[in-house]
Structure 1
């Protein structure tokens, strides 16, 4: 860090911002008039849910160090989420259910 001046650091941050922004912006600008078939549109509509599930599921299983309590908390969270309540209540319900599982079962 001694050899890098503060001005150079700002240039690096700006360059990283440009390099990060361009791959997101260019497809939106260049492909905005392209019409995709309905099947592809439906398929792409499910991608965020699949990615979110793939990111969250392993974290649920290994969050407590006890897989049965983690599965129980995940199931309770899913049930609460299906009731269309606030996300904070879903998270708190999952945490509380894991706590109750570990107090009562172990």
Structure 2
């Protein structure tokens, strides 16, 4: 699995790409990139739901976490520790 990080003003985009099929046991070896906890995180990539759950949990200490949905042309906030971003909010342009 490869990760790419893009810093934006209020959040960091963490993109992942699977080079080959992934198994649940691979999560033990997965090392997501570090990000600034003072910003939100947008997760982007194609993978199984349990991988997104793992990554959302990993980035839980950040201000908020969202998952990118190309159909919405934005990212859906799935957890938040601030009033400016609420669960279910769509962050456009992410």
TM-score range, shorter chain: under 0.3
TM-score (norm 2): 0.22
The structure with the largest helix share of the pair is 1
* Higher radius of gyration, 1 or 2: 1
Q: Which has the higher contact order (CA 8 A, sep 6+)?
A: 2
The structure with the largest strand share of the pair is 2
TM-score (norm 1): 0.20
